[in-house]
């Protein structure tokens, strides 16, 4: 039976109070794209086809946190602060009970266990496949939480075919239930690069290789550093960005060399500059549920050497050069080859821009809204979505 009421969407905004990581970027950009589509349709139709509200725990989140979801004019979204609890306890109590007739959007893995009318986006199953990167308590809690949510939630999304298959393999989500949403990367275009980061770390344009790192074992940064030091490429530096305080890499025993720079956390504007001025971007991860950083690098025309692990080949297609994440010699060879061949880099840069242009948050948002509208029999929203130009998708997907 068709629903006659406007679609009501509630965003689980628990993630807004923390530093932006890959999964947080996903949640921010997908939410903003959903909001923009609903506003666009409302302007055309003369009435609301859907409404979005953000709910937050009472943990002191500031306007600066909500500003991550501000519209292009700087307007903050409609929001409400719920209850007195925070964290997982808040999700399982106040959030679970809030507006049960609305679609609750949980875009950062966790969600209320007992709620059915909700969408949960599970990025990957790395808490199972990469146990060395997580504590025992974290793995045990996620196993219980995500398995229960995967069975009860009316809608489950993930971010690649690889992640879907892995979630199914370990029975986190029933076979055939999870939908794959194709993420966007066009948020990079909105950023003005902060080239001051180059001066701050003494970097020369086109004379460094970039990797975004952390100490999580599956990020495999130590192997890349080892491969780079072995390559001994004259005049080229390796820049390891991210991971908090740069001293944590040195304290963890990663190689220290004159041609290796650990920057620590950088801003989005600084990261865009690092992407755009790098000789090549390297992604050595053992596994990734999607692999947003390689695509962000591609947007700027940066050549990419990528892992063969996880979803990265699925996402990067034929626009990247690949190396086995367990083969140090293969990484040394790939780094040496790309650094020594400007024609290869130019060809990879061209392919990178073309490939990355097919990943848009607008298309991702339409996919999510279309699925929910179809579940509800929302003919007005389905009709509006159908009138939009078809999104461009890569043929390999």
Q: Is 283 helix (H, G, I), strand (E, B) or coil?
A: strand
Closest CA to 223 of 317, 307, 294, 296: 307
Specify whether the CB–CB gap between 152 and 104 falls below 8 A.
no
H-type alpha helices, 15-135:
22-45, 63-66, 87-90, 96-97, 126-129
Domain boundaries, the chain: 7-184+360-386, 190-356
Strand partners, 212: 241
| pLDDT given at position 389 | 67
| pLDDT given at position 394 | 41
Between CA 274 and CA 247 the distance in angstroms is: 20
Task: Determine the Cα angle at 245 with ends 242 and 249, to 5°.
Answer: 80
Note the pLDDT tens digit of each residue in 52-70. Answer: 999 999 887 666 788 899 8
| Encoded tokens for 329 | 């010699």
Note the pLDDT tens digit of each residue in 266-289. Answer: 999 999 999 999 999 999 999 999
The pLDDT mean for the chain works out to 91
Closest CA to 389 of 362, 368, 371: 362
Between CA 145 and CA 56 the distance in angstroms is: 20
Largest CA distance in the chain: 68
Residue with tokens 């903003």: 32
Mean pLDDT by 10 residues, the chain (397 residues): 70 91 93 91 66 89 80 85 90 96 97 97 94 92 97 98 97 97 95 97 97 86 94 96 69 75 92 98 96 96 98 96 98 98 97 96 95 93 80 42
| pLDDT given at position 91 | 96
Note the pLDDT tens digit of each residue in 197-246. Answer: 999 999 999 999 999 988 788 899 999 999 999 999 999 999 999 876 66
| pLDDT given at position 49 | 74
| pLDDT given at position 189 | 94
* Matching fold, domains 7-184+360-386 and 190-356: yes
Q: What architecture is domain 190-356? A: 3-Layer(aba) Sandwich (3.40)
The fold for domain 7-184+360-386 equals Rossmann fold (3.40.50)
Between CA 226 and CA 326 the distance in angstroms is: 12
**pTM across the whole model:** 0.90
Between CA 391 and CA 370 the distance in angstroms is: 13
């Amino acid at each position: 039976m068709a629903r006659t009421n406007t679609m009501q969407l509630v965003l689980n905004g628990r993630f807004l109070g923390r530093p932006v990581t890959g999964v947080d970027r996903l949640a921010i950009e997908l939410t903003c794209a959903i909001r923009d589509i609903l506003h666009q349709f409302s302007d055309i139709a003369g009435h609301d086809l859907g409404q979005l509200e953000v709910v937050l725990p009472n943990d002191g989140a500031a306007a600066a946190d909500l500003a991550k979801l501000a519209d292009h004019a700087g307007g903050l979204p409609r929001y409400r602060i719920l209850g007195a609890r925070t964290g997982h306890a808040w999700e399982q109590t106040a959030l679970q009970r809030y507006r049960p007739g609305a679609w609750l959007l949980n875009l950062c893995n966790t969600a209320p266990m007992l709620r059915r009318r909700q969408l949960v986006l599970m990025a990957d199953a790395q808490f199972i496949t990469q146990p060395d990167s997580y504590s025992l308590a974290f793995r045990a809690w996620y196993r219980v939480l995500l398995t229960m949510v995967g069975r009860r939630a009316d809608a489950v999304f993930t971010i690649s075919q690889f992640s879907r298959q892995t979630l199914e393999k370990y029975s986190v989500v029933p076979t055939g239930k999870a939908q794959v949403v194709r993420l966007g990367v066009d948020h990079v275009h909105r950023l003005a690069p902060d080239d001051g980061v180059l001066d701050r770390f003494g970097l020369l344009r086109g004379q460094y290789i970039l990797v975004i790192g952390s100490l999580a074992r599956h990020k495999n940064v130590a192997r890349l550093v080892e491969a780079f030091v072995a390559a001994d490429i004259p005049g080229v530096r390796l820049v390891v960005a991210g991971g908090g305080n740069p001293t944590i890499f040195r304290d963890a025993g990663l190689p220290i060399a004159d041609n290796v720079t650990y920057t620590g956390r950088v801003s989005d504007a600084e990261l865009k500059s690092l992407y755009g001025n790098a000789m090549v971007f390297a992604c050595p991860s053992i596994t990734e549920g999607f692999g947003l950083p390689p695509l962000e690098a591609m947007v700027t025309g940066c050549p990419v050497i990528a892992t063969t692990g996880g979803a990265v080949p699925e996402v990067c297609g034929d626009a990247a050069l690949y190396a086995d994440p367990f083969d140090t010699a293969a990484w040394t060879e790939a780094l040496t080859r790309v650094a020594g061949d400007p024609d290869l880099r130019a060809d990879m840069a061209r392919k990178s821009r073309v490939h990355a242009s097919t990943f848009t948050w607008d298309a991702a948002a339409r996919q999510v809204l279309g699925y929910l509208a179809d579940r509800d029999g929302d003919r007005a929203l389905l009709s509006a979505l159908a009138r939009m130009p078809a999104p461009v998708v890569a043929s390999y997907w």
